[in-house]
A and B are shown apart, each in its own frame.
Chain A
Amino acid sequence: MIPRSQNFRGYLGGWFSAETDLTLYIEACERVPAWLAEDNRGLTEFRDELATHIRESSLPPRHNDSQWGTDEWLRDIWFDAFGPEPAPGDPYPVPAVQWGRVRLTDYMLHAVDEDEEGSSDGATAWLAARGLTAQGVYDAISGDTVRRPEPDGYAEHLRRLTEAGLREQLP
């Protein structure tokens, strides 16, 4: 999918911009279930387009990052916002067991603590919806990480997507 929509830019640079304002990001992640329940159309369009960008590697790389690193960032946002099921059609889904154990997201690093006093008010519900515990995530902060390398054949995968007109050729 190229280029991204105004609606997508609005959510990515606003509600879901952890880099701009973590408080807003955490609130957004916690409000997603309510937004979906009230059939928030902008949000469902953002979700669908996020899935498309993950599937087609079509979001241009972030500053100082690769296409793969950017794809992985979008997968983290997907998990934080929409939960443990991989985005539909994700060609490289993250093994479910990695989340919150060897793979930590912005929500986990900033909204989850072993004590309630240091956690976001919505953390309990957020963790429960993902089958995680506060203690487990807190312990994982000091533990190992799996940072997935570019998969074999990824460059070729990108080339095919580019040829199909789904993404732009990187300079």
Chain B
Amino acid sequence: MVLSKKLWRTPLDTEKISLPKAEITIQPDLCKGCDFCIEFCPRKVLEKSDQLNKRGIYPPKVADESKCTICGFCAAICPDFAISVTEKKCKEGCEDEK
């Protein structure tokens, strides 16, 4: 079935509100390569890196940081304290600063 009618509307305050931007910090040498963060990220922000780390495994790397909603599940499920997510502090280069 093809929906001809749009079932959602654009929120009225879209232009006023700026979405928080995520800053994902990965410490590749602490990673042991369990892949929980890649597998359980609800927005599929992370992917496997193509560079080996010190341990000889492929750590995760950020594929698309703009998709991240800062749910922090990757940081919460990481057994090795190798990944953390914070909100990006808006300085220069960050548009619509309020």
Co-assembled chains A and B? no
Q: Which A residues form the contact surface with B (CB < 8 A)?
A: none
Q: Which B residues form the contact surface with A (CB < 8 A)?
A: none
